[in-house]
């Protein structure tokens, strides 16, 4: 490895300080280092801003939390470049490496002694009057939500073109196994090991108890049609891209062709991270 990208959590002095030390350490090993900090984007329906990172990197180090890693996945994840997530505090399931373990882990990575998790992603398309107005790829989830005071949503769901049901709820989460520990977990959905290749469908505060979360095969295509009377709805992608929804809009979700490569911690396994983050035992 010779060309290393570093993505820094926006407006974080801790991340900037860590980046300075990392730059000196990498350059001492004759590495080329390229930095990128997410820019503030007032247009919330726009994709992540263009990257200042070159396309032919050997590794991208993410200094921040899970939100910064999701940003990195949207920015460069589809290139296949492995991501090394460094947690600078807070609840992090994706950023497995602590600052204490950063340099010992990097030593191993630069020697080629590392294992990569290939995380499945979802392809999301928003159609309005037969026209695609947005296409995105997400690592965690696509969420259809209502505004705080909006009426309960009625969301007609089809699986592979076959009617499933009409969810009456505050919203609907369509998640990957990676995203199962994000909003899905808060909404009462199941925790699914990231090695599983499944798609999770979880209603948010359903009106009836019979509307329960579903675990579906990764091969399915999910279509969610907005009710003709619907208003004040939004489609949120990985918590970072937002699209206002209109009556009759159609959200189509399927497995993406690309995956995100995340380097596993050599010091902590998935279940140790899980029980630590959730305070089990």
Supply the residues annotated as catalytic. Answer: 66
Closest CA to 197 of 223, 181, 220: 220
Give the tokens for residue 208: 């009836």
Number of other CB atoms surrounding residue 47 within 10 Å: 15
In Å, the largest CA–CA distance within the chain is: 62
- Contacts of 98-106 with CB under 8 Å at 24 or more apart are 99/18, 101/265, 101/267, 102/18, 102/22, 103/25, 105/263, 105/265, 105/266, 105/267, 106/25, 106/26, 106/61
CA separation for the pair 18, 11 (Å, rounded)? 13
Q: How many CB atoms lie within 10 A of CB 140?
A: 30
Token code pair at residue 42: 């007032």
């Amino acid at each position: 490895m010779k060309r290393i990208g570093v993505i820094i959590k926006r407006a974080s002095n801790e991340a900037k300080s860590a980046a300075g030390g990392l730059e000196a350490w990498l350059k001492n090993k004759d590495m080329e280092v390229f930095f990128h900090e997410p820019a503030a984007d007032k247009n919330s329906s726009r994709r992540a801003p263009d990257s200042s990172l070159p396309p032919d990197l050997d590794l991208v180090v993410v200094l921040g939390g899970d939100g910064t890693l999701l940003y990195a996945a949207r920015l460069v994840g589809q290139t296949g470049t492995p991501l090394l997530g460094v947690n600078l505090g807070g609840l992090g399931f994706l950023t497995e490496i602590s600052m204490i373990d950063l340099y010992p882990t990097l030593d191993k990575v630069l020697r080629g002694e590392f294992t990569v998790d290939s995380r499945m992603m979802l392809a999301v398309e928003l159609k309005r009057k037969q026209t695609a107005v947005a296409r995105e790829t997400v690592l965690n989830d696509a969420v259809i939500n209502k505004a705080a005071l909006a009426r309960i949503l009625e969301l007609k769901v089809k699986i592979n073109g076959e009617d499933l049901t009409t969810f009456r709820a505050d919203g609907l989460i369509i998640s990957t196994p990676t995203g199962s520990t994000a909003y899905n977990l808060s909404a009462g959905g199941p925790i699914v090991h990231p090695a599983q290749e499944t798609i999770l469908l979880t209603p948010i505060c359903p009106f009836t108890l019979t509307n329960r979360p579903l675990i579906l095969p990764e091969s399915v295509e999910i279509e969610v049609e907005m009710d003709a009377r619907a208003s004040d709805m939004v489609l949120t992608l990985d918590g970072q891209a937002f699209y206002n929804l209109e009556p009759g809009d159609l959200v189509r979700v399927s497995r993406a062709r690309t995956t995100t490569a995340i380097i596993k911690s050599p010091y902590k396994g998935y279940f140790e991270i899980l029980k630590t983050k959730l305070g089990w035992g």
